A = this chain, B = another copy of it.
Amino acid sequence: MDFSSFLTSLGTSFLIFVVLMLLFTWLSRRPGNSVVYYPNRILKGMDPWEGGSRSRNPFAWIREAFSSSEQDVINMSGVDTAVYFVFLSTALGILVLSGLILLPVLLPVAATDDNVKAQKTNGSNQTFSEIDNLLMGNVKDESPRLWAFLFATYWVSLVTYFLLWKAYVHVSVLRANALMAPGLKPEQFAVLVRDIPPAPEGQTRKEQVDSYFKSIYPETYYRSLVVTNNREVNKIYEKLEGYKKKLAHAEAVYDESKKTGKSKGLRPTTKIGTLGLVGRKVDSIEHYNEKIKELIPKLEAEQKATLREKQQACAFAFFTNRVAAASAAQSLHAQMVDTWTVMEAPEPRQVIWSNLKIKYFQRIIRHQFVDITAVKTVLEAYLPQIALIVFLALLPKLLLALSKAEGIPSVGHAVRATSGKYFYFTVLNVFIGVTLGGTLFRTFKSIEKEPNSIVKLLASSLPGNASFFLTFVALKFFVGYGLELSRVVPLIIFHLKKKYLCKTEAELKQAWFPGDLGYATRIPGDMLVITIALCYSVIAPLIIPFGVVYFGLGWLVLRNQALKVYVPSFESYGKMWPHINARVLAALILFQVTIFGYLGLKKFSSRALFLIPLPILSLLFAYVCKKKFYRSFCDTALEVASRELKEIPDMESVFRSFIPPSLSSEKADDDHFQDALSQVSRSGSFA
């Protein structure tokens, strides 16, 4: 790619971004679009245009984003989102601090040499562009100028360590503050107990669980909720809810027809055969009413049967204070380690019920198996490029399904696991794949002659792909963040649905409900950019401003989206951070190894040995981080759990928040749960 086509591509991307931003300014001020541009505010019962968002100034949203504090983000979107911004600003900081030294030093050092011109006149058959003058490739072999690049590698590494350390401390404090907040979090009072041994003769499961915990925690144990197999009851419940929605829809259609046409209106009909396409026509409202009447007693019967007969060997145990629950979650309870295994309860809305019953060793095997065979084979195999594109679209769902198959009990954990798999996939296949692929044909014959090491190959192919990645990053931020901010696609879908499909309020809400930020795919994407930016930072320092814009713009756009648009679907209090930290370090090590290899190609090998301490230092840094911080992200520190609560917790509501909707009876009838739910100390007093 020559310089002019690179500029063209860059200009086009920028133009698209400006158009999308103006579109956003115009569209977001129309009241009918407020549910698309301010759903988070609306759902929190706030005024969508609070703070002057509706002003004619197209940059008002930028001012708002800059003036928002971290606490605002936590209030509107939770700790996980705040942690995501810590990541964005850390990445930004690494690139800005690196750039401050690297750009003024390395660009002149490279530009004033003339390796490229020399090779050109020597009749080398490779093509070069103006950009190449600014790359490390323009420095002659064995030139003492290479020292500058060596020291630059140290500078980037030290900056990364420093900012990662500061970020880890910051996230750790964020997490601690959130966990010690005086507000009531039901999951802080509960633990998940799995691998319960068979109940002794003459004891029900709940009696067994209650007597076990009562004897260990005579003062702080509240009661238990035995997990049941809800497959059947969920089916009936979903069917029932489906009919209720259809009934509401049919009634809305009927009401509308009364208003518009004849005075009596047109009663909607439906066909009762397959998919509503064949079969006898019936009156929809009557038909759905009948179905609902049929299903309600069926659901109640199934609820009773589930609670009585489908109890699993696992339960939630509730405690009357947070320290007791936090300490129980970390303690070994049974002498046989594979029975009565206890862990922190996930948030109620995060629970993956069907995974709870999986046994100890089966969990280990699933975890190992999924890790070792399926994923690694898929991830590390080289896939043809056509298949890759189709696959990339399906991948997040596939990886999420694989993560769930590991037997992970909470959604947040599954998302973290997916994110990890996706990161390694992206880095391995896209980054290394493109880098190597681009030069593969060129170097294929030389490999055949002398089997080059992968490091050398990677290093030698990096500079050739620099302009590809510059364009890639620019496209990603201008077009990607432009689309993100303008929300053109969700807007169109919402208006289409509103016009042709939605009849009831619930259907309308479903049409504009924004979902969450989507960490599982968003973070790996960002990781790819920081990996590229780090790896090219010294070889092609021009990448740095692009990375800065990517993370700067990302911070700005997503700040707006987090405050106004997305609604978090769960909260893990920053448990993602250790993984982010590890992956940035992985990228850093890749960078350090690449530079080592590249200096070797530049016949600077003996002095490149000065780089050997760097990967070791990175591993050491990762180890120290793990030892110093990691456990506080797995377990809740007791000093954190021991903070006073705002008010005495209502244990009954804590308990009820864990009952799945398909089992909760509207009558709030205690007898209803007598089979699976314990009644220990229900009328006790809790301090």
Interface positions of A (Cβ within 8 A of B): 172-173, 175-176, 212, 215-217, 219, 323, 326-328, 330-338, 340, 360-361, 364, 624, 627-632, 635-640, 642
Contacting residue for A630 out of B323, B333, B337, CB 8 A: B337
Contacting residue for A639 out of B216, B338, B638, CB 8 A: B216
Q: Is the CB of A337 within 8 A of B632?
A: yes
Q: Is the CB of B624 within 8 A of A361?
A: yes
Query: In whole angstroms, how far apart are the Cα atoms of A640 and B635 in the complex?
Result: 22
Q: Is the CB of B212 within 8 A of A338?
A: no
Distance in Å from the Cβ of A209 to the closest Cβ of chain B?
13
Query: In whole angstroms, how far apart are the Cα atoms of A266 and B444 in the complex?
Result: 102
Can you list 7 A-B contacts with CB-CB less than 8 angstroms, sorted by A residue number?
A327-B328, A328-B638, A334-B639, A336-B632, A337-B628, A360-B627, A361-B627
**Residues in B neighbouring A629, C-beta threshold 8 A:** 336-337
Q: Is the CB of B332 within 8 A of A638?
A: yes
Distance in Å from the Cβ of A330 to the closest Cβ of chain B?
5
Query: In whole angstroms, how far apart are the Cα atoms of A360 and B216 in the complex?
Result: 31
**Residues in B neighbouring A176, C-beta threshold 8 A:** 335
Distance in Å from the Cβ of A342 to the closest Cβ of chain B?
9
A637-B330 contact in complex given A361-B624, A642-B215, C-beta closer than 8 Å: no
**Residues in B neighbouring A640, C-beta threshold 8 A:** 335
**Residues in B neighbouring A328, C-beta threshold 8 A:** 327, 638
**Residues in B neighbouring A172, C-beta threshold 8 A:** 335-336
**Residues in B neighbouring A628, C-beta threshold 8 A:** 336-338
Most buried by B among A340, A361, A635, A642: A642
Q: Is the CB of A638 within 8 A of B337?
A: no
Q: Is the CB of B638 within 8 A of A333?
A: yes
Copies of this subunit? 2
User: From A330, which residue of chain B is reached at the shortest CB distance?
Assistant: B331
Q: Is the CB of A338 within 8 A of B627?
A: yes
A335-B639 contact in complex given A361-B624, A624-B361, A627-B364, C-beta closer than 8 Å: yes
**Residues in B neighbouring A630, C-beta threshold 8 A:** 337
User: From A180, which residue of chain B is reached at the shortest CB distance?
Assistant: B335
Most buried by B among A629, A630, A638: A638
**Residues in B neighbouring A624, C-beta threshold 8 A:** 361
Q: Is the CB of A334 within 8 A of B637?
A: yes
Query: In whole angstroms, how far apart are the Cα atoms of A193 and B335 in the complex?
Result: 24
User: From A640, which residue of chain B is reached at the shortest CB distance?
Assistant: B335
**Residues in B neighbouring A337, C-beta threshold 8 A:** 627-632
A330-B330 contact in complex given A215-B642, A627-B364, A639-B212, C-beta closer than 8 Å: yes
**Residues in B neighbouring A219, C-beta threshold 8 A:** 219
- Given contacts A216-B323, A332-B636, A335-B640, could you give 4 more A-B pairs where the C-beta distance is less than 8 Å? A328-B638, A335-B637, A337-B627, A338-B627
Most buried by B among A331, A635, A642: A331
Q: Is the CB of A631 within 8 A of B332?
A: yes
**Residues in B neighbouring A330, C-beta threshold 8 A:** 327, 330-332
User: From A324, which residue of chain B is reached at the shortest CB distance?
Assistant: B327
A638-B361 contact in complex given A337-B632, A628-B338, C-beta closer than 8 Å: no
**Residues in B neighbouring A340, C-beta threshold 8 A:** 639
Query: In whole angstroms, how far apart are the Cα atoms of A338 and B631 in the complex?
Result: 10
Contacting residue for A335 out of B335, B361, B632, CB 8 A: B632
Query: In whole angstroms, how far apart are the Cα atoms of A219 and B327 in the complex?
Result: 15
Query: In whole angstroms, how far apart are the Cα atoms of A640 and B640 in the complex?
Result: 27
User: From A333, which residue of chain B is reached at the shortest CB distance?
Assistant: B638
Most buried by B among A175, A176, A337: A337
Q: Which 3 A-B pairs have the closest CB atoms?
A: A176-B335, A216-B642, A332-B635
Distance in Å from the Cβ of A638 to the closest Cβ of chain B?
5
Distance in Å from the Cβ of A686 to the closest Cβ of chain B?
14
User: From A623, which residue of chain B is reached at the shortest CB distance?
Assistant: B364
Most buried by B among A216, A335, A360: A335
User: From A635, which residue of chain B is reached at the shortest CB distance?
Assistant: B332
Q: Is the CB of B338 within 8 A of A637?
A: no
Q: Is the CB of B637 within 8 A of A333?
A: yes
User: From A173, which residue of chain B is reached at the shortest CB distance?
Assistant: B335
Q: Is the CB of A331 within 8 A of B338?
A: no
Query: In whole angstroms, how far apart are the Cα atoms of A369 and B637 in the complex?
Result: 29
Distance in Å from the Cβ of A200 to the closest Cβ of chain B?
14
Distance in Å from the Cβ of A172 to the closest Cβ of chain B?
6
Query: In whole angstroms, how far apart are the Cα atoms of A338 and B630 in the complex?
Result: 10
Q: Is the CB of A326 within 8 A of B331?
A: yes
Query: In whole angstroms, how far apart are the Cα atoms of A5 and B360 in the complex?
Result: 57
Query: In whole angstroms, how far apart are the Cα atoms of A585 and B624 in the complex?
Result: 32
**Residues in B neighbouring A335, C-beta threshold 8 A:** 172-173, 175-176, 632, 637, 639-640
**Residues in B neighbouring A638, C-beta threshold 8 A:** 216, 328, 331-333
Query: In whole angstroms, how far apart are the Cα atoms of A332 and B636 in the complex?
Result: 7
Query: In whole angstroms, how far apart are the Cα atoms of A585 and B370 in the complex?
Result: 28
Query: In whole angstroms, how far apart are the Cα atoms of A261 and B333 in the complex?
Result: 71
Query: In whole angstroms, how far apart are the Cα atoms of A365 and B553 in the complex?
Result: 43
**Residues in B neighbouring A332, C-beta threshold 8 A:** 330, 631-632, 635-638
**Residues in B neighbouring A331, C-beta threshold 8 A:** 326-327, 330-331, 635, 638
**Residues in B neighbouring A327, C-beta threshold 8 A:** 327-328, 330-331
Query: In whole angstroms, how far apart are the Cα atoms of A485 and B629 in the complex?
Result: 54
Distance in Å from the Cβ of A214 to the closest Cβ of chain B?
10
User: From A641, which residue of chain B is reached at the shortest CB distance?
Assistant: B216
Query: In whole angstroms, how far apart are the Cα atoms of A642 and B335 in the complex?
Result: 12
Query: In whole angstroms, how far apart are the Cα atoms of A338 and B626 in the complex?
Result: 11
Distance in Å from the Cβ of A505 to the closest Cβ of chain B?
44
**Residues in B neighbouring A636, C-beta threshold 8 A:** 332
Query: In whole angstroms, how far apart are the Cα atoms of A585 and B217 in the complex?
Result: 39
Distance in Å from the Cβ of A502 to the closest Cβ of chain B?
47
**Residues in B neighbouring A326, C-beta threshold 8 A:** 331
**Residues in B neighbouring A360, C-beta threshold 8 A:** 627
Query: In whole angstroms, how far apart are the Cα atoms of A628 and B364 in the complex?
Result: 12
Distance in Å from the Cβ of A501 to the closest Cβ of chain B?
49
Distance in Å from the Cβ of A221 to the closest Cβ of chain B?
11
**Residues in B neighbouring A173, C-beta threshold 8 A:** 335
Query: In whole angstroms, how far apart are the Cα atoms of A14 and B216 in the complex?
Result: 56
Query: In whole angstroms, how far apart are the Cα atoms of A623 and B173 in the complex?
Result: 36
User: From A321, which residue of chain B is reached at the shortest CB distance?
Assistant: B218
**Residues in B neighbouring A642, C-beta threshold 8 A:** 215-216
Distance in Å from the Cβ of A289 to the closest Cβ of chain B?
54
User: From A220, which residue of chain B is reached at the shortest CB distance?
Assistant: B219
